[in-house]
Structure 1
Amino acid sequence: MTSRFEIGETDFLLNGEAHQIISGAMHYPRVHSGLWRDRIRKARLMGLNAIETYIPWNAHESVRGDWRADGDLDLGRFLDIIHDEGMNAIVRPGPYICAEWHNGGLPTWLTGDESLGLRSSDPRYLAAVTAYLERVNAIIAPRQIDRGGSVILVQIENEYGAYGSDKAYLAELIRVTRAGGITVPLTRVDQPISHMLEGGAHEGLHTTGSFGSRIDERLAALREHQRTGPLMCMEFWCGWFDHWGEKHHTTSVADSAADLDRLLSAGASVNIYMVHGGTNFALTNGANDSGRYLPLVTSYDYDAPISESGDLTDKFHAYREIISKHAPVPEVPLPTATDAPALTVRLEAVSDPLSLIATHRGPFDAPPTMDELGSDVTLVEYAVTAPGTGLLEAEVRDYAWVLRDGRPVGRLQRTVQDDTLALPAGQELRLLVEETGRVNYDTRIGEAKGIIGIPLLNGTPVDGPWTVRTFDVSALAKSLSDAPVDLTAISGGRVTGPVALRGRFHLDESADLFLATHRWGKGYAWVNGFFLGRYWRRGPQRTLYVPGPATRRGVNEVVILELEGASDASARFVSRPDLGHEVE
């Protein structure tokens, strides 16, 4: 059955009747596809009538021309489930999305061209964006509400007024979107700050805002720039994200619920960011840099009403009570949280695991950046002959282990602006450089990674030839299947990296798990080949979430790539998550 969704003089209109959107953000790649229906249904039980999602371009097309829309990237199925659950959908395709997502959603094969005018009417940029939007709109268009689907709104770009004011760029995005068959209303979002609202404005777009407090003031600012039609907070910030090395952020449940009540009482529509945050699986976490580079943790729990593992939190119940004052809320029993299985798994070691996933490159006169080496390269070893001793100076993005004649001698760390190291006498110099997350906001989007420029030894450039090994981190779990065990790598329960650890464990049935990481150094983890993401002793996160559909009844396998060293060469699964000490 088809319906009409329009923007009226004062309200959103659903089949001609005033309609208040009460939506929640949920990003499909941050949720295992086997849990989409569960999370969407729980959002409906809170009283929501819509689900909003970003579309990360770089997840769908990490390699130019290699488009994926299956499995956890099956956007069409996600939108269909929203419809099946009796809810509407809001879609935000970008092409830039921010979202604390790797590179703000833009592919590295695109941003690696430093001459390209990102987020502008640069013809070469628009050509790539047009091809992307044509693919996305082919998925969205048949699922619009006026064709019997769930989609009621489509957003153009994202917080563009905080970045630029290229009206020709916005006009072209609108043209391409309409040409792709999108007929529902188009929106834009910015923080309710005058220059941002002006910079991102376009006559073809309905203005919405992003804020989490000072509701009356922000709605008034929004009304100054959106003189007619409904007011909407497209991002009602109900929590916040975490960086490695910081505390776990939470917000006051009472204050947040009161602000939601103010929004709904004012007649405004709302999209709660996030209703369910999910997880930055694999290598998808972003980073921020406002003078100091700070990568994001693997969890994207966001202190949301529905936790990373699907629990209904105190915030869920408080929001549900508020929403019930303004809209119908399903009167059904609510699920309760249960403990996950707790167990300890004995691990065996595989030495030199990086050689299993290595590609040799070079020689080069100077160290190439990761971007020059290919799309989504995240771990690279650089080697050069550099005789002598003294002070090494090198700009690394973002973290490097330094070896002298094969022996570890120290680290370089961008987060603490540590770019020098005293080198002992020797010949060979090696730097294993890890990209720990690409900046997702402001002008550092698309910056090069790896070694930047030529390192100096005692002020003198370290001339090549440089040789390089790149490592396909995502392929490690599969590559380990036939690798021989090293019986000497584990000593006294401890290991020194780089080393791979693997072990098998039994489950009576598929179940959510929480993998404890606080006794390990820095690395990556998989269960049954599913890439859980990064861990780091720096915290605050001390467990990795294992989604139940990634496990199975019977024998399961856990794999760890430890890059530094672990004081406990076993895998411990605990009953509840530990995201770190909370701070409001």
Structure 2
Amino acid sequence: MKIYKHVVLAGLLMGSAFSVHLQAQEHQFKISDGNFLYDGKPVQIHSGEIHYARIPHQYWRHRLQMLKAMGLNTVATYVFWNFHEAKEGQWNFAGDHDLAAFVRTAQEEGLMVILRPGPYACAEWEFGGYPWWLQNIPGLEIRRDNAAFLNYTEKYLKRLGQEIGSLQITKGGPIIMVQAENEFGSYVSQRKDIPLEEHRAYNAKIKKQLEEAGFDVPLFTSDGTWLFEGGATAGALPTANGEDNVDNLKKAVNQYHGGQGPYMVAEFYPGWLSHWAEPFPQVSVEKIAAQTEIYLKDKVSFNYYMAHGGTNFGFTSGANYNKQHGIQPDLTSYDYDAPISEAGWSTAKYDAIRELMLKHVDYHVPEVPPRLPVIEISNISLAKSINLLDAVTKLKGKESDQPLTFEELAHPFGYVIYSRQFNQPIQGNLVVEGLRDYAMVYVDGEPVGELNRYDNSFEIPIDVPFNSTLQIVVENMGRINYGAEIIHNTKGIISPVLINDVEISGSWISTPVPMDSETDLGLLLKGAKTSNTKAVRDTKNIPFLYTGEFNLSEVGDTFLDMESWGKGVVFVNGINIGRYWKVGPQQTLFIPGVYLRQGKNTIVVFDQMNQKVQTSLHTVKTPVLDALNL
């Protein structure tokens, strides 16, 4: 605990002293004569992407110091609209949501800032950053020249301008550039049903909204070079994603930027995104070091996506889509095989990049900060547990002719239980083609089977006796964050349920399961029984909530080992630290030390599968992110 306090305190003192020095100077940043100009002199941007939303705010300074020590001079970050307006009109810019504090901290650490406010982000984040409730607005279609949608993007961008407009370099802050939209050329290539002229009109309106919101630094777009035709917009610098060939980069930028640079790879991938049930991708140190040196020698600016990934805490992870799988949900960990690991550690990739930067840059590169403390918790006893199907009787559902979607229930994330009483027996094939995304099926509380959109498993045999209840526990595994299917993102059961091709309608009860707060968890856990009772031991394959307490004499980062569990989410001291799933490749969940307390701590595990009755947990000092268990 003392070491942790000293590390954070030292960072705060260093930042405070440096802040005075920076604020005493005024700077300029422009694009002119084919160059980025900082105070009138050409500058090469060496940037790394860090998303403040994926890191506890207490760790922002440490991660920014790690970035600076890698040899970089700039930090880029997405702004996720839904992170700040989770409910319509209710804005949150406090604590972990305090974007202005993150930007000021970057300035104190001597870093320039590139802002990527969307309104679309992608980023393997829930709904690509869009608020879920946009889907309930009549006549609204996202990412389109649509009056209803543009009305909301305007409100969002104006609110953002109020928060951080004063932190642009034109007003003494560190923000040097702002991105307009994001990877729009990719979307244009997938939505050929929309005329190119309409796409371009939309893109131009987003740029104009940014300017009207007070963003007066250079604007840029970001796409693959082969997608500039759809993604570039007049008055914004086109930058490239994933472009290794410098000649291709220069040719494309010249075509859309008056025959000259500057040239920037806005997303240079030192790692790659990862999905559940798929191998954890890894990019070699040698490949990234070699490509970095090419950019350095050719004076191409770049931004590592990601320099440090962080974590998709809670229900913030999104999903990709393809026809084979339907949905490819993203891991809780956003480690990304990045140079700075999920927990903020340097890696071999980090060391190789730092060594290169020390050779090539003419500015001071500080020493690497020490790791934050790591602890191991050998035993966490799970004293009590309760069957979710029993706990849900305390909740009030909504009756309707057909199952209601999450959106219709105003229930954005997590779980909904759909139930229907049958007065006559029925048996045959249960088909739920409108499942979004994962379900466990029960009859009178007895397990029947699993349905899963990931592998298009929408059908199981079922036998419902006379006067029995069918229950379908449905999980929203994250809204699609990329591609044309992003416009089809309602969750739950979104089409009729069939048994033997007969539509089952009438008297469905749709019950949201609240898991947003400690109060919600307390309500669900009311009536929990001791975990080692026979009633609990004999109840397998039923969704269960487990709860326990543990005491700590010191706190630090740690990794919860979930390898022997099934599928679900974990709450530590009331904070949702994310999803786990036995299929891997992720088998541990990162618990930041700032989420723990000296003395008593609480933990709640919700396991949807409950294939093995559990009585304890433990943590480890090293994460496991590459262990598939299919």
| TM-score normalized with structure 2 length | 0.88
Q: Are 2:372 and 2:557, in contact at CA under 8 Å, matched by a contact in 1? A: no
What's the secondary structure of 1:389's corresponding residue? strand
Q: RMSD of aligned C-alpha atoms?
A: 2.1
User: Quick check: 1:223–1:231 contact (8 Å CA) kept in 2?
Assistant: no
Q: 2:222 is matched with which residue?
A: 189
| 1:392 alignment partner in structure 2 | 430
- Find the residue that maps to 2:170 and give its secondary structure: helix
Name the structure 2 match of 1:569.
Answer: 615
> Could you tell me how far 1:275 is from its partner in structure 2?
0.7
Determine the C-alpha separation between the residues in 1 that align with 2:96 and 2:591. Answer: 15
Residues 429, 518 of structure 1: CA spacing in aligned structure 2 closer, same or farther, 3 A cutoff? same
Tell me how far 1:148 sits from its aligned partner: 1.2
Deviation larger for 295-304 or 139-148: 139-148
Q: Indicate the residue corresponding to 2:240 in structure 1.
A: 209
CA distance in 2, matches of 1:114, 1:564: 37
**Structure 1, 324-333 or 307-316: larger mean CA deviation:** 324-333
- Aligned residue in 2 for 1:507: 552
Q: Aligned equivalents of 1:212 and 1:250: distance in 2?
A: 18
Structure 1 position 117, deviation (Å): 2.5
Displacement of 1:329:
4.5
How far is the alpha carbon of 1:509 from its aligned partner?
A: 2.1
Q: Which moved more, 1:429-438 or 1:419-428?
A: 419-428
Query: Per-residue displacement from partner, 1:205-231 (whole Å, max 9, x unpaired)?
Result: 110011064454445444443322310
1:113-128 superposed matches below 5 A = 113=137, 115-128=139-152
Aligned residue runs from structure 1 range 259-270, under 5 A: 259-270=291-302
Secondary structure in 2 aligned to 1:370? coil
Secondary structure at the residue paired with 2:408? Answer: helix
Change (3 A) 1:488 1:375: closer
User: Distance between the aligned counterparts of 2:533 and 2:267, measured in 1?
Assistant: 48
| The one of 287, 290, 294 aligned to 2:328 | 294
Range that drifts further, 500-509 or 529-538: 500-509
Aligned CA distance change for structure 1 residues 504 and 304 (closer, same or farther; 3 Å):
same
Q: Contact 1:288 / 1:439 at 8 angstroms: preserved in 2?
A: yes
Q: Using a 3 Å threshold, how does the CA distance of structure 1 residues 79 and 273 change in structure 2: closer, same or farther?
A: same
1:486 paired with 2:525, answer: no
Deviations 1:46-82 (A, max 9, x none): 1111111101111111111111111111101000100
Answering whether residue 588 of structure 2 is matched by residue 550 of structure 1, we say no
Instruction: Tell me what 2:367 maps to.
Output: 332
Structure 1 Cα separation of the partners of residues 351 and 413 of structure 2: 43
- Shift, 1:140, TM fit: 2.1
Change (3 A) 1:487 1:552: closer
Provide the rounded CA distance (Å) in 2 between the counterparts of 1:135 and 1:490.
Answer: 54
Quote the Cα distance in structure 2 between the aligned partners of 1:103 and 1:348.
37
Alignment partners' CA distance in 2, 1:168 and 1:212 = 26
Q: Is the 8 A contact 1:4 1:146 kept in 2?
A: yes
CA positional deviation for 1:330: 1.8
Answer yes or no: is the 8 Å Cα contact 1:25–1:52 preserved in 2: yes
Q: Which amino acid letter does the alignment assign opposite residue 302 of structure 1?
A: Y
State whether residues 371 and 377 of structure 1, in contact with CA within 8 Å, keep that contact through their aligned partners in structure 2.
no
1:73 aligns with 2:97: yes
Alignment of 1:318 with 2:352, yes or no, is yes
**Cα deviation per residue 1:197-251 (whole Å; 9 max; x = unaligned)?**
0111211211001106445444544444332231011110110111110111111
State the AA in 1 paired with 2:618.
Answer: R
Task: Give, in angstroms, the shift of residue 352 of structure 1.
Answer: 3.4
Normalising by the residue count of structure 1, what TM-score does the alignment of the two structures yield?
0.95
User: In 2, Cα distance between the equivalents of 1:357 and 1:389?
Assistant: 26
The whole-number CA distance in structure 2 between the counterparts of 1:326 and 1:241 is 29
Give yes or no for contact 1:525–1:533 (8 Å, CA) kept in 2: yes
Aligned to 1:453: 495
Give the gaps of 5 or more residues in structure 2.
1-24, 189-195
Whether 1:405 aligns to 2:444 is yes
SS at match of 2:461: strand
**Distance (Å, rounded) in 2 between the aligned partners of 1:571 and 1:114:** 47
Question: Which amino acid is 1:376 matched to?
Answer: P
C-alpha deviation, 1:114, in angstroms: 7.3
Structure 1 residue 348, shift from structure 2 partner: 1.5
* Match status 1:579 vs 2:628: no
| Preserved contact between residue 366 and residue 454 of structure 1 (Cα < 8 Å) | yes
Q: 1:185 to 1:314 in 2, by over 3 A?
A: same
Partner of 1:241: 273
Structure 2: distance between partners of 1:340 and 1:108? 37
1:113: Cα distance to partner?
4.5
Paired with 1:336 and 1:367, the residues of 2 have a C-alpha distance of 49
SS of the residue aligned with 1:439? coil
C-alpha deviations, 1:467-512, integer Å up to 9, x for none? 1111112235763387344125666989634222222222222200
Compared with structure 1, are the counterparts of its residues 23 and 537 closer, same or farther at alpha carbon in structure 2 (3 Å cutoff)?
same
Aligned match for 1:52, one of 67, 72, 76 = 76
Q: Which moved more, 1:486-495 or 1:91-100?
A: 486-495
Q: For the Cα contact (< 8 Å) 1:167–1:202, is it kept in 2?
A: yes
Worse-superposed segment, 421-430 or 199-208: 421-430
SS in 2 for 1:40: helix
The amino acid across from 1:116 in the alignment is L
Figure out how many residues of one structure are paired with residues of the other and give that number: 580
Identity %: 36
> Structure 1 unaligned runs (5+)?
none
Tell me, yes or no, if structure 1 residue 20 matches structure 2 residue 20: no
Q: What secondary structure is seen at the aligned counterpart in 1 of 2:407?
A: helix
Whole-Å separation in 1 of the counterparts to 2:368 and 2:347: 15
1:137 paired residue among 151, 161, 164: 161
Q: Matched residues in 2 for 1:231 and 1:270: separation?
A: 9
